[in-house]
Every structure is written in C-alpha cells, then in structure tokens.
Structure 1
Amino acid sequence: MKLLTNRTRKMDVILIIVGAFIMAVGINLVYEPMDLVTGGFSGLAIIIKYFTKGFIHGGIPIWVSNILLNVPLFLAAFLLKGKKFVGKTLFATAVLSVALYIVPSFDIVYHDLLLASVFGGVIGGIGLGMVFITMASTGGTDMLGMIIHEFIPHYTIAQVIFVIDGAIVLLGAATFGLNKALYSVIAVYITAKVMDGMLEGLKFAKLTYIISDQYEEIAKEIMDKLDRGATGLHATGMYSNDEKKMIFCVVSKKEIIELKNIVGGIDPKAFIIVSDVREVLGEGFIEYKQ
C-alpha cells in the first residue's frame, strides 16, 4: 500500500509539471502574442502587462502577476478545501509561474486568430485537464471555480470556470477590441470541452443488458474471456409472460466489441442493450480512494 501511495504521488507530480508547462506554451506562444484574453489570471495578467507598459519596460511580467493575484485565493482555499488541496495547488501555481518565466513569448500561429483560438483552446484544455486529474489547480479562476463548485455541485467545474472566464473575456474586449474577444470566446469554449472530456471521458464505460435463453453459457464466456463479472436479473416477457434471465454487465469501451462477438457467436438471436456509463467505481475500473 505504501508503494502504491508513493507511486500515485509521483504520478501526480509528473502530471502537474507537464500540465503546467503545456499551459505556459499556450499562454506565451499563442495567447499573449495575439492579445487573446481567454480568462483566468493569465488573461488578467496579459491585460495588466498591456496597461503597465507605459511606466514599466515591457510591462509587469505575466508570471509575476500570476503569483500576486493568487494570494487571496490560497487563503480561501485553505479554509474550504484543506491543507492537502492547497499544497498541491501551491505547487501547481509555482510550477506554472516558473513555466511562464522559462517558456519564451513569440507568435507560433503567424497572426492567424482562428488558428490561435482553436490551437490555444486545445492546448489549454489538455494542460488544465492534466492538472485537474490530480485534484489540484493552477490557481486563478481554476481554483476559484473549484471553490465555487463546492457550493453549486450540480454544475461541473468546467461550466463554472466558463462563466468566470467569460467575464474576464469581456474585460479583454474592452482592452483589445471585440474582434479578438470573439475569438477568445471560441478558445474558452474549446478549453472547457477538452478539459471536461479529459476529466469525465476517462471514466466512461459501457453498460449492457443481454437477453438470451443461453444466458449461462454467455455469462461464463464473459467471465472467462473478458474477466468481467456478470449478474443475472430475473425478467418476465410481457407478451409471452415467460420467465427469463437477463445478464447485467459493465465493460470498458474497448471491450464492448469483444462482448458483442461473444454473445453473437453463442446466440445470434440474443437481444443486447448497450448504453454509456459516466462513471464506474469498483474492482476493474476506478478504485475507491481512501
């Protein structure tokens, strides 16, 4: 158990570092050169840098603003989320600030606003998703979104951040113009979708109900070949009034094809219902965290 815990912590550290540097690439190589304010404290930092160029050479660096803006949120997060969350988030914020300092700022999309909004949104979503998988945050509106999510859990974290970032995008519109703000909205939307897909998509599975007179043989093959459990449910045909047994089984997305082949090979007349499952906890899927 100790080795598993240590390995998990190491993986979290790797995910946070890689995710933070991916985010820095999107900010310094896509958003800042194009004056795209896509929300977050990095977006506010871009605006701050623009307005401070008049009295500070080059303006206040983004990485400096990123650190200073996060201080109040860390205090609130410590009270609401606890020491463990703040510890991870503090580390992630520090790594992002270092990454913003290290990664050079230049235009890699050659002044193409559409390419910047799409490419930047994908990069940002991947980076945020990698950090959020560890249950940490890079600070800023990411952390603010996770804090607000505690009070309105019926909205996803991505949806909350989308609203907050929208307000920052409006501020960017007043600074850099409506045209760039509209492209920023595209980037924010793509970021939210990519991040949501990473957080939720990794948990997808397939739920199957199988109705067949040869249920015993089918269940045995599923357990032997797929190493998945199968549960027999009593069912009654409403037309024939015959008693039947229906197999209930949950498999991963990549196993659903083999399951269909197993059922079809035993009983071509079997009735199969397949549906998506958002999340499965238990042996063979996502294990409970102690």
Structure 2
Amino acid sequence: MDTKTLSMLEPMGSWAWWRSWVLIIVGCSIMGAGFVLFINPYNFVPGGVYGLGIVLHNIFPSIQVGTFGYMFDVPLMLVALLVFGGQFGARTVVAALYTPGFMNVLTRLVYPDAAAVESLDPALLLGGRLDLSNDLLLTCLMAAVLVGVGQGMVVRQQATTGGTDIVGMLLQKYFGIKFSTGIFLADGAVVLSGLVVIGFGLGTGDAAPAGWMLTLYSLITIYASSRVVAYMLDGASYDKLLFIISDNHDELKRFIIEDLDRSATYIRSRGMYTGTSRDMIFLVVSRKEVHQVQHKIKEIDPRAFVVVTDAYDTFGEGFKPLPDKDAMQAE
C-alpha cells in the first residue's frame, strides 16, 4: 500500500474514532435527559441502576439518583473491563461515569432549589412547564423513546451505559439470551423493589397512591424501551422475500438483473397436483421495490404464481453485512 493510500485512510480512521466517542456522549445525554425529565419525577422504576437509584432516593432523598448510579456502576464496570476487554472497558468507564454526572447536573438545572431536587416534584420541573402528572402513559412512552434511543446509540458503539446493560451483555455472551430480553429479565427485580418501596411504602412509611399503577407504567417503559433498543441495534425489517413460479423466466431474469440490479436463485420444484417439475425464482428485495416487481410480473406473465413474505434479516451483497462474532444483537 503506497503512502498516498495510507494518508487517505489515516484521517478516515481518526474520524471513525472521534465519531464513536461523540455518539457515546450524545447517547448518554439523551438517556440521562429521559430519566431526569420523564422518569425520576414520576417515580417510575424502569429497572437498571438508575431505577434502583430512584427506589433508594425515596428512602434517602438527600442523595441524588445519579449518585446512586455511581455506587452501583463501579463494580459492574470492573466486570465489563475484565470480560469484554480494555477498549470496551474504557468506553464503558466513560459512559458509566458521564451519565450519572450529567443526570445530577441536569437535575439541578431543571429544578429551582435543593429542596425541589430532593422532592423531584414534577410541578416544580422547569417551573411547572413540563408537568405531565395527568398524562402518565404519554410520559412513560416518551421516557422509553429517549432511554431506548440513547441506550441503543451507546451499545451500537460496542459500549454500555453500565448497570443492567452489562448484565444483558453477559447473559447474551454466556447463555445466548437476547440482549433486550436479558435487560428485561434483569430489570424485573428492580421493578419489584420499586413496588415494595414506592407502592407499599416499605422503608419510607408513605405508600404512593395507586402504587401498583406506577409499577405498570414502569413495565410499559421497560418493554417499549427494549423495543427501541432492538430497533437501534438491528434496524427495522423492511426486506421482502418473493417466491415466483412463471413460464417466462428469461424476461424475468433480464428484469431482475438489469432493471433491479439484483440477483436471484432458481429452486427446483414440482407441482403436487400436476407432478410437473419447474424452476421457482427465489428473490429478496427492499419493501419499496415490491410493487415494482409485482407490476412487472403481471406485465410479463399475468398467470404467474407469486408469494410475498417478510425477510426478517437479510445478509450479503446489497443488504446488511454479516455481524461480527461479538456484535450486540437485540434479537
């Protein structure tokens, strides 16, 4: 490789490195904002170390939720460093240390005084301009989107915000459990602790009205955020799979190769009723190309038999690259 090629690759590699770190910081900030604005004030307990921090904040209101995050994240970061390696550990350390600190700073900015920071009263949040106490379902869905997007951005960079992210990755690595499912299971114990402390008042002596409803909203938040994480990691399944049986293969072949700029596969098949052997075309296209293919088939052979179904994941040339061995996959 000549020096000119090397000089071109060097800034590209440097940009990828900076881009990865910027995405981690942005993802952590989005996730932290979701907690501060839409979760902490309403006593949702959506699992994780910050959910556990919300539970403990109800018992020790002088300690902020982010501070509890530091208390639990440090040992989990050490585990991540040992299991996933130095580079992953470094990213985890930065993400896990930045997120609770950002949450503490943002909390002080959106509440008027120290007493409001302790109470986390949504009526005092941004001077009451963001009080959604009467729209808790909307609140938990907004929280799920922000937390899921932020968490997904961080994990796509092969990092983690700490807490049950690490638990989910460990379950995927050693037990083959989906990443999002692992988080969902790990968060269950935290949600139950929220029901006991916030709902039933154990440790606080002050049970929240309809505390079990807060647990329900917490579960909705967990599930919705796990779906957002799954989308962020794996993307939406927009590919379509077509099985085509026709007597005009030459025209269809020209259309697929020249117009669609794709390839397809012939599968030898035999009709059950007639016993006639013929070739069936196996074709994968994007969702937006389906109607184009259908119209062309109708033009070429109106009597063709066509089956269209979803292709959950499509890997290879023209589609997604095959995932690396250690890449995080939500499904």
Normalised by the size of structure 2, how large is the TM-score?
Answer: 0.77
The Cα shift of 1:7 comes to 4.9
- In structure 2, the CA distance between the partners of 1:95 and 1:254, relative to structure 1 (3 Å rule), is farther
The answer for the alignment partner of 2:290 in structure 1 is 256
The answer for the alignment partner of 1:56 in structure 2 is none
Distance 1:91 1:202 in 2: 29
The Cα shift of 1:171 comes to 0.8
Distance 1:141 1:60 in 2: 21
The Cα shift of 1:138 comes to 0.8
The answer to whether structure 1 residue 17 and structure 2 residue 25 are counterparts is: yes
Identity of aligned residues (%): 34
The Cα shift of 1:11 comes to 4.2
Decide whether the 8 Å contact of 1:109 with 1:115 is kept in 2.
no
The answer for the alignment partner of 1:206 in structure 2 is 240
Q: Secondary structure at the match of 2:262?
A: coil
Decide whether the 8 Å contact of 2:58 with 2:198 is kept in 1.
no
The Cα shift of 1:288 comes to 4.0
Count of matched residue pairs:
284
Residue in structure 2 matching 1:118, options 141, 159, 176? 141
The answer for the alignment partner of 1:233 in structure 2 is 267
Distance 2:157 2:257 in 1: 32
Structure 2, unpaired ranges of 5+: 1-8, 112-121, 123-129, 200-211, 325-331
Residue in structure 2 matching 1:174, options 196, 204, 210? 196
Distance 1:91 1:229 in 2: 45
The Cα shift of 1:139 comes to 0.7
How is 1:69-88 mapped onto 2 (pairs within 5 angstroms)?
Answer: 69-88=72-91
Distance 1:204 1:139 in 2: 31
How is 1:98-109 mapped onto 2 (pairs within 5 angstroms)?
Answer: 98-104=101-107, 105=110, 107=122, 108-109=130-131
Distance 1:226 1:190 in 2: 36
Q: Secondary structure at the match of 2:280?
A: strand
Letter of the 1:73 partner, please give it. L
Distance 2:105 2:299 in 1: 58
The answer to whether structure 1 residue 191 and structure 2 residue 195 are counterparts is: no
- In structure 2, the CA distance between the partners of 1:289 and 1:88, relative to structure 1 (3 Å rule), is farther
The answer to whether structure 1 residue 36 and structure 2 residue 44 are counterparts is: yes
The answer for the alignment partner of 2:65 in structure 1 is 62
The answer for the alignment partner of 2:181 in structure 1 is 159
Q: Secondary structure at the match of 1:103?
A: helix
Distance 1:47 1:234 in 2: 61
Decide whether the 8 Å contact of 1:222 with 1:262 is kept in 2.
no
Name the larger-Rg structure.
Answer: 2
The answer to whether structure 1 residue 283 and structure 2 residue 317 are counterparts is: yes
The Cα shift of 1:162 comes to 0.9
Normalised by the size of structure 1, how large is the TM-score?
Answer: 0.87
Residue in structure 2 matching 1:50, options 52, 58, 82? 58
Pairwise CA RMSD: 2.3
The Cα shift of 1:4 comes to 5.7
Structure 1, unpaired ranges of 5+: 54-58
Distance 2:97 2:295 in 1: 50
Residue by residue over 1:186-241, the C-alpha shift from the partner in whole angstroms, topping out at 9 and shown as x without a partner, is 21122122222333343552222111111221122122222211122222223222
Distance 2:287 2:106 in 1: 37
- In structure 2, the CA distance between the partners of 1:258 and 1:193, relative to structure 1 (3 Å rule), is same
Residue by residue over 1:80-138, the C-alpha shift from the partner in whole angstroms, topping out at 9 and shown as x without a partner, is 22223223322322342343134344642421322222221222222222222333221
Distance 1:6 1:234 in 2: 50
Residue in structure 1 matching 2:100, options 97, 100, 106? 97
